[in-house]
Structure 1
Amino acid sequence: MTSSPQTTLSTGAVRGSEHEGVARFLGIPFAAPPFGENRFRAPQPVRAWKGVREATQFGPTAPQLPYAGAIGELLGSVRIDGDDILTANVWAPIGASSAPVLLWIHGGALERGTAALPLYDGTVFAKAGIVFVSINYRLGSEGFSVLEDAPRNLGLRDAAAGLAWVQREISAFGGDPTQITAMGESAGGAIVAGLLAREDSRALIHRAIIESGPLAAQPVKKAGRVTAQLAKRLGIRSDRAAFAEVSPEQLLDARKAQSAGSSPLGGAPGFQFAIDPESLPRSPHEVLGEIDTPILIGSNTDEYRLWFPPEALAGISELKLQAARILSRIPRRAVREYRSAFPGASTGEVFGQLVTDMLLRAPLSRLAAARPDLTHVYEFAWPSPVRDLRAAHALELGFVFDRLTDDETVRLAGPGAPQALADEMNAAWIGFVTNGDPGWPVYGSGRQTRIFDATSATLPQRRTTGMDLLPG
C-alpha cells in the first residue's frame, strides 16, 4: 500500500511517494537550470511555483558521456534529458522529527555520474532513522571550466548551493538542519573536502565522510589546462561568451576527441578544482588538518585496479615508470621502498600503488595525523573475484549502501559478495551519522584503522613505508 506524502518548502509544495515507512521526494530543484542566460554562471535561485509539484521522478542528469572501454563495462550510467539538472532527492522516515541528515554527493571524476543511479537509493538509511538527501551538480566543461571571465569551480558552487538548500529546507522532511553529515565518494569525496575548505559551507556541516576522495586543488593555470586545450581544439577563446556559443553536446564531443588514445602515463588533463579567492581560497589538503569537524575517511587497498585494467598495467615498462616518477617528482628511494613493500609485484602494479598512495592514501594519512582525535580511518580490503579487480576503487559502495544485489554492485563484486560485510559497513556509516561513532576508535597515536574484509579488524594503519617520501 503506497500513499502520497506532501510537504511545503519555501518555494512551494511537493508531493512524493511512500513505501515501507519511507517517504521519497525526487527531482526537487535547489537552483535554477544552469543553461541559457545562467550558463557558466554561479547557481541562481529557484523560482517559486504554484500548486503542488510532483516529486516522484528523478530530475535530468548533467550533460556527460558514458564510461568507455573496460571501465564502461563495470560502471553504469543513467541519462535523463532536460535542463533542470540541479535537483535534490530526499528519503525520509515517515513521521521523522529532528532526525540526523546525510547528504550524498556522487563521484565520477568531476565529469560523470548522477544521483539517479539505483545504487544510491537512500532507503536503507531512512529505515535507520536518517533523512537521506542526494544532489546533482554540473560536470565536466559545464562545471569545471577555467574561463577568463566566468566564476570558477561551478560544480563545487552547485554542491554548496545544494548543501545550503538542505540546511534551509530539511526540517520540512523531518530532518535536523544542525545535524548534517556530508558524504561523498571519489570526486564526490573531493567535493565534500572542498565544502569543508570553505568557511560558509563548513559552518553547515556537522560531520563528514570522504571515501577515496582526492584532497587537493590546483593553481589556476594547472586546473585550466583541460579548458585551454579544449578551446584550442574548438578554435575559440577561453572565455564565457565563446564557450556559451558551443552547445553542451559539442563540448562533450570535443572532450571525447581530446581524451582519445589516453593512457595511464599519457592521458589528457582531467577536470580539477582551481584555487580561487571567491569559491575555494585554499586547497582542501591544507585546510582540513586545521578544522574540528569530525571526519570518517578511507580508501580501498587496490584503488588503481579499476582505473588501469590488466593489459594497461602489463604495458608499463621500467622506462615508463621512471618517466612517470620524474614527471610526478617521486624520489627514486620511494620506488625502491614500494618494490620492497610489494615483493613479486609487476612494474605496473608498483606504479599503480604509487598512484593510489600519492592521490589518496598519503593525503588522508597526513590529514589523520594532523587531527588524530577527530578522524576515523578505514581501509576497504575485500578482494573482488571479478577481473582481478581485488579491492578496487568504488567497490565499497555496494557495501556501504547495503545493495549487493544491485546491478552496479554485481558488475564489480560478483554475485556472491559477503552480506555480513555489507551489514557491518552500513551499520558503521549509520553509527557515524547518528552519533559520531562508527564502532572503532579514532586514528589516535596508534594510527587505528578499520580494515574491512571477510573478517574485519582494527589495526595500526598498514603500509605507511614510503608514503612520507611522496610529494604533497
Structure 2
Amino acid sequence: MQTDPNTTDPDTTDPDTTDLDTTDPTEADGPTAPADPPPLGTPTELATPLGTFPAVAGDGVVRVRNVRYATARRFEAPVPAEVRPDESSDRRFQRLACPQPASPSDELLGRPLRGVEFDEDCLRLTITIPEDAPDGPMPVLVWVHGGSYVSGAGDLAGYDPAAIVREQRVIVVAVTSRLGLLGYPTDDAHPANLGLLDLIAAFRWVGEHIAAFGGDAERITAVGQSSGGDALAHLIAAEGARGLFHRVILQSAPLGIRTGRAEMQRRMAEAAGPLAPDASLDDLFAAQARAKQAAAGSGLRSAMPFGPRAGAAPLPAEGDIEAAWREHAADLDVLVTWNRDETAFFFEVDPRLAALAARPVIGPLLRRVITRRTTRAVYVGGARRFAHIVAGGGADVRVAEFDGHPDGSRIGSAHAIEVALLFPATAAWEGTPLLAPDGARNLVAAGAALRAAWAAFARSGAFPAGYVPTGHGWAGSLLARRV
C-alpha cells in the first residue's frame, strides 16, 4: 500500500419528560463546493491490491472518501457493490449524508451538517489511515454515528478521526447508512430494518476488503454512539451478523427504551400511511413527521421513535433478543459506557425542559432530579442489563461511566460530550454550546488518554483498570470496571 503525494421502567418517569426529543443534529446548508485550496486535504492516490483509490492527505492521515459498499433502491435491501477504486474520484472532497429533515439539537452541536451533501445513494464508507502506516496490519475501528436513527452521517467534520488515527496508528472506517423512513419504514409493504441491513453490508465489506488498506480483518472493533450503539447491540442479536466484529464499544446506547415499542410503532405506521417508492422526499419527510407525532405519549420511548423493529428480519422477536445476545456473546470483547449527565443535553434543546429548569429557586433542583432519573431510565439501567447478559454468555465485558466536562461547564457530562474528545476537530467543535465555556480549545490534549484507551481495546481487548482521565481544560474521567 502506497500513497502518492499531490433497568428502570421507562414508563415510570416524570410526566414532564416523557416526550423528550432526543434527535441528534442535522440541518444542513445543502451542497457546497470545496474552497481553493480544498479544505478537506490535498489530493493524492492510495495504491492497494484492489487498485488505486483517489484520496486526500493532510493532518498526518490519508482518507479515502465515499467508497460505495452497497447499492439499494428505495425501500429495498442493499446489494453488495463491486469494488471500483475510481468510482468516488469526483467525491473525494464531499461529505455525504442520507437525506434527512432538520434536527432541534443542530445548534447545540454546532450545526454539524454544514456543507454536507444529501444523497439517497449514501451507502458509503470513508477510510482513514496513518500517513506513515506501519508495515504490519493495523487494528480497525468502524464508527457508527448517533442521531436517533433520523440524523447524522459517518463522515462529518465533528467526527474527524485524524487524531486517533495519527496518534495510535489505527484505521477508522466511518459508515453512512439510511435513516428515518428511508432506513426504517413503518409500513408492512417494505422491509422494516433496512438501516440495519445496510450496516451488515458495511461490516461485510470491511471484513472482506480492509486488509487491502493495511487493516487487520481479525481485529475489527465496532464503535457506536447513541443510536449507533443501539444499532450495534441489535446487530449482535441479528441473523447474518455474527462474526462481523469481535470487539464492540457501545457509547450512550439508549437500551432502556429498546423494549415495549410495538404499540407505538403501530400508531406510527398508521399515521405515516403507505410509503410510495416514488414519493418525493418532501412527502416522505411529511410522513415521517406524522409518524413522530403519533409516537407522542409512549413515555421515554417516544424520544427515539424510529429504529429497529423486533421480529422483522434480521432481528428475532423482542422476547428472543436477550437469548440471542447470550448465544452470540462468547467470542466478544465488550465495552459499555454512559455519561453521568446524559439527559442534561435535552434541557438545551427542548423548550419545555428549558423553561422548567429556568424556574426560580426550584428550577436547578428539578433539572438535577430529572437528569438523574431519565439518565438512569434511558441509558444506565439498560446498559448494565445488556452487559450482564452478554457477560453471562461468555463475553469479556467492562462497563464505564464518564463524568468528564469542560472546566466551568454549566451542562456537565451530557450526551455526546465524549465524542468531541475522541474526534477532536477543534474547528468543527469550536463555539459549540455543548462544550461551553471553552472546552473546544484543548480537545486534542484533553482527550489523549481516552483515545489511547479506545485504541488499546481495539488492539488487544485490554482496557485500563480504574479510570481514564481527561486532560488540561477539562475535569473528570472515565471510571471502568469489569463485569
**Normalising by the residue count of structure 2, what TM-score does the alignment of the two structures yield?**
0.75
Matched, 1:201 2:241: yes
2:75 matched to which residue of 1? 40
CA contact (8 A) 2:251 2:336 kept: yes
Matched, 1:77 2:112: yes
| Cα distance, 1:459 vs structure 2 | 7.2
2:102 matched to which residue of 1? 66
1:335 matched to which residue of 2? none
| Cα distance, 1:395 vs structure 2 | 0.8
Aligned pairs for 1:109-120 (under 5 A) are 109-120=148-159
1:456 matched to which residue of 2? 477
Bigger Cα displacement from structure 2, 18-27 vs 367-376: 367-376
- Secondary structure at the aligned position of 2:128 is classed as strand
Gaps (5+ residues) in structure 2?
7-43
1:328 matched to which residue of 2? none
| Cα distance, 1:404 vs structure 2 | 4.7
| Cα distance, 1:210 vs structure 2 | 0.6
- Secondary structure at the aligned position of 1:275 is classed as coil
Per chain length, whose mean CA-contact separation is higher, i.e. which structure has more relative contact order (CA < 8 Å, sep 6+)?
Answer: 2
Matched, 1:308 2:343: no
Matched, 1:437 2:462: yes
Instruction: Write the letter of the residue equivalent to 1:160.
Output: I
CA contact (8 A) 2:230 2:253 kept: yes
| Cα distance, 1:41 vs structure 2 | 0.8
1:225 to 262, 267, 271: 267
Aligned pairs for 1:120-139 (under 5 A) are 120-127=159-166, 128-139=168-179
Count of aligned positions: 413
- Secondary structure at the aligned position of 2:309 is classed as coil
After superposition, the Cα gap between the structure-2 partners of 1:313 and 1:191, relative to the gap in structure 1 and judged at 3 Å, is same
The percentage of aligned residue pairs carrying the same residue is 26
1:56 matched to which residue of 2? 92
CA contact (8 A) 1:118 1:406 kept: yes
Report the Cα distance in structure 2 between the residues aligned to 1:363 and 1:349, rounded to whole angstroms. 20
CA contact (8 A) 1:402 1:426 kept: no
CA contact (8 A) 2:334 2:396 kept: yes
Aligned pairs for 1:248-397 (under 5 A) are 248-256=281-289, 259=292, 270-283=305-318, 287-289=324-326, 291-292=329-330, 293-309=332-348, 312-313=352-353, 346-347=365-366, 349-370=368-389, 371=391, 374-384=396-406, 388-397=410-419
After superposition, the Cα gap between the structure-2 partners of 1:402 and 1:289, relative to the gap in structure 1 and judged at 3 Å, is farther
| Cα distance, 1:306 vs structure 2 | 1.1
2:219 matched to which residue of 1? 179
- Secondary structure at the aligned position of 1:244 is classed as coil
Matched, 1:422 2:447: yes
CA contact (8 A) 1:88 1:136 kept: yes
Gaps (5+ residues) in structure 1?
232-236, 318-342, 442-448, 462-472
**Normalising by the residue count of structure 1, what TM-score does the alignment of the two structures yield?**
0.77
Instruction: Write the letter of the residue equivalent to 1:396.
Output: E
After superposition, the Cα gap between the structure-2 partners of 1:438 and 1:58, relative to the gap in structure 1 and judged at 3 Å, is farther
2:26 matched to which residue of 1? none
1:246 to 279, 284, 295: 279
| Cα distance, 1:460 vs structure 2 | 7.1
CA contact (8 A) 1:379 1:450 kept: no
1:466 matched to which residue of 2? none
- Secondary structure at the aligned position of 1:77 is classed as coil
Instruction: Write the letter of the residue equivalent to 1:74.
Output: L
Report the Cα distance in structure 2 between the residues aligned to 1:459 and 1:436, rounded to whole angstroms. 14
- Secondary structure at the aligned position of 2:241 is classed as helix
After superposition, the Cα gap between the structure-2 partners of 1:98 and 1:409, relative to the gap in structure 1 and judged at 3 Å, is farther
Bigger Cα displacement from structure 2, 77-86 vs 415-424: 415-424
CA contact (8 A) 2:46 2:53 kept: yes
1:90 to 127, 133, 146: 127
After superposition, the Cα gap between the structure-2 partners of 1:316 and 1:378, relative to the gap in structure 1 and judged at 3 Å, is same
After superposition, the Cα gap between the structure-2 partners of 1:414 and 1:294, relative to the gap in structure 1 and judged at 3 Å, is same
| Cα distance, 1:9 vs structure 2 | 6.9
| Cα distance, 1:134 vs structure 2 | 0.3
Aligned-residue Cα RMSD (Å) equals 3.4
2:203 to 163, 188, 200: 163
Once the two structures are superposed, what CA deviation does each residue of 1:112-142 show, in whole Å capped at 9, x if it has no partner? 0012311111212322211110010100000
| Cα distance, 1:263 vs structure 2 | 9.3
Report the Cα distance in structure 2 between the residues aligned to 1:91 and 1:399, rounded to whole angstroms. 17
CA contact (8 A) 1:143 1:153 kept: yes
Report the Cα distance in structure 2 between the residues aligned to 1:184 and 1:301, rounded to whole angstroms. 18
Once the two structures are superposed, what CA deviation does each residue of 1:324-369 show, in whole Å capped at 9, x if it has no partner? xxxxxxxxxxxxxxxxxxx997445433322221221001112333
Report the Cα distance in structure 2 between the residues aligned to 1:21 and 1:457, rounded to whole angstroms. 27
Report the Cα distance in structure 2 between the residues aligned to 1:260 and 1:385, rounded to whole angstroms. 38
- Secondary structure at the aligned position of 1:126 is classed as helix
Once the two structures are superposed, what CA deviation does each residue of 1:205-248 show, in whole Å capped at 9, x if it has no partner? 021011001233556554343232221xxxxx3xxxx4314222
